[in-house]
């Protein structure tokens, strides 16, 4: 059983990709530790310093609609969160580009409607990835989430799409992708 516990940061407004990673870092190499130094810098002034977001020590992000919207395809948004030790993001909906990047990196972007209305920043959450249940240990509320597709789980278990494909190239089963 996979249970993760930790503190959440709760977004009260839209979280946009171009604020998660501000413009001057769009051309930076993709590297979780490097990207995590300035991740979320444009989202909140409190995060706008080196390791500003990471140093709060959050494990989860809870958000409303269109998390990581704004149409940027850069992967730094996801790797930055990974480097900042975020273990899952719960949102009512995700922007498709970052949802895709998250799947590719095996980073759980979990769809759970309106959780942001019943959680506060600093609340302690417990996420059970087996049944998708999320408990807010600070206020006793329980949330369910949309089950993760088998492919997504498979990629996650492989440690991301690169590893998933690397293995298939190595063992010659790549031609079977369908």
Partner 1 sequence: MAMTITEKIMAFNSGRDSVVPGQLVWVDVHTVMTMDYLGKQCFKAFESLGAKTLFNRDRVICVSDHLVPPPTPEYATMLNEWREIVKSYDIPNFYDLGRQGIAHQIMVEQGHVLPGKISIGTDSHANTYGAVGAVGNAIGVTDAAIAMATGKCWFRVPETVKFHIKGEWQPWVMAKDLSLHIMGMMHWNGHLIYKALEYCGPAIDALDIAGRMTLCNMTVDLGAKNGIIAPDAKTAAYLQSVQKGDWNMIASDADAHYDAVYEVDVTNVGPTIARPDKLDDTVPVEQLVGTKFNKAFVGTCTNGRTEDFAIIAKILDGKKIHRDVNMICIPASQQVYLECIQKGYFEILVKAGVAIETPSCGPCAGIHTGVAGDGDIMLSAGNRNMKGRMGSKNAQIYLTSPAVVAASAVKGVITDPRSENW
Judged by the rule CB under 8 A, the positions of this chain that interact with partner 1 are 16, 18, 22-23, 26-27, 29-30, 65-66, 69-75, 93-97, 99-101, 104-105, 149, 151, 160-162, 165-166, 169-170, 174, 177-178
Please identify, using beta-carbon distances, which residue of 72 and 87 lies nearer to partner 1.
72
Nearer to partner 1, 93 or 138 (CB): 93
Smallest distance, Å, CB 2 to partner 1? Answer: 22
* Minimum CB–partner distance for residue 106 and partner 1 (Å): 11
Q: How far apart are CA 160 and CA 23, in angstroms?
A: 26
3-state SS, residue 47 = helix
User: Minimum distance from CB of 63 to partner 1 (Å)?
Assistant: 13
The torsion of the CA quartet 40, 44, 47, 49, rounded to 10 degrees, works out to 100
Give the span between the Cα atoms of 136 and 165, in whole angstroms: 36
CA distance 81 to 32: 8
In the complex with partner 1, which residue's Cβ is closer, 84 or 102?
102
CB-CB neighbours of 119 under 10 Å? 24
Residue placing its CB nearer to partner 1 in the complex, 100 or 113: 100
């Amino acid at each position: 059983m996979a249970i993760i516990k930790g503190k959440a940061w709760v977004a009260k407004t839209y979280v946009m990709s171009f604020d998660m990673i501000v413009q001057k870092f769009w051309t930076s190499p993709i590297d979780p530790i490097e990207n995590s130094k300035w991740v979320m810098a444009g989202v909140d002034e409190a995060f706008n310093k080196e390791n500003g977001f990471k140093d709060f020590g959050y494990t989860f992000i809870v958000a409303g609609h269109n998390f990581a919207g704004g149409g940027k395809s850069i992967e730094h948004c996801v790797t930055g969160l990974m480097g900042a030790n975020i273990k899952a993001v719960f949102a009512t909906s995700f922007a498709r580009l970052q949802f895709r990047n998250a799947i590719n990196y095996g980073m759980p972007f979990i769809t759970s409607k309106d959780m942001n209305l019943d959680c506060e920043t600093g609340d302690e959450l417990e996420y059970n990835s087996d049944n998708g249940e999320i408990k807010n240990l600070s206020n006793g509320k329980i949330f369910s989430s949309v089950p993760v597709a088998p492919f997504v789980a498979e990629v996650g278990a492989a440690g991301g799409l690169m590893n998933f494909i690397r293995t298939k190239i190595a063992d010659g089963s790549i031609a079977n992708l369908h």
